[in-house]
Amino acid sequence: MDCLFCKIIAGEIPSTKIYEDDKILAFRDINPQAPAHILVIPKEHIGGVDELNSENVAIVSHIFAKIAEIAKNEGLEKGYRVVSNVGEHGCQSVRHLHFHILGGSQLNGSMV
């Protein structure tokens, strides 16, 4: 499978890692949209939120528990945004489930 984030997980493409365990990886986005812009991904290949189901959804609770920890470690006490783009209309450019953590300054109030 030709998946960019699977290659990052495999170490074939370098990344700035923030957190890693046997199930997930967090690393800095190559094109930051905010002072802090981190991607959190499952090591299992799941294409996006639209491929979640009762068999694989447990990973999302693990990811969100770690998002809270990561945000605290990044000093984002004043708040942050968690975003997952899905499919063409959602402007998802990498078809591997990922959650953006965006923060470090006042974000725009608009969601779109």
Q: What amino acid positions are annotated as catalytic residues?
A: 98
Smallest separation (angstroms) from ligand DGP to the CB of 64: 17
φ/ψ of 17, rounded to 5, equals: -80, 140
In the bound state with ligand DGP, the residue whose beta carbon lies nearer, of 15 and 59, is 15
Instruction: List Cα–Cα distances, 63 to 1, 24, 39, 102, in angstroms.
Output: 23, 7, 11, 15
Q: 20 with 40: CB under 8 angstroms?
A: no
Nearer to ligand DGP, 30 or 57 (CB): 30
Using CB under 6 A, list all residues that contact ligand DGP.
4, 13, 15, 27-31, 39, 85, 91-94
Structure tokens at 98: 């990922």
| Closest distance to ligand DGP from the beta carbon of 18 (Å) | 11
Coil, strand or helix at 101: strand
- Of the two residues 4 and 65, which places its CB atom closer to ligand DGP in the complex? 4
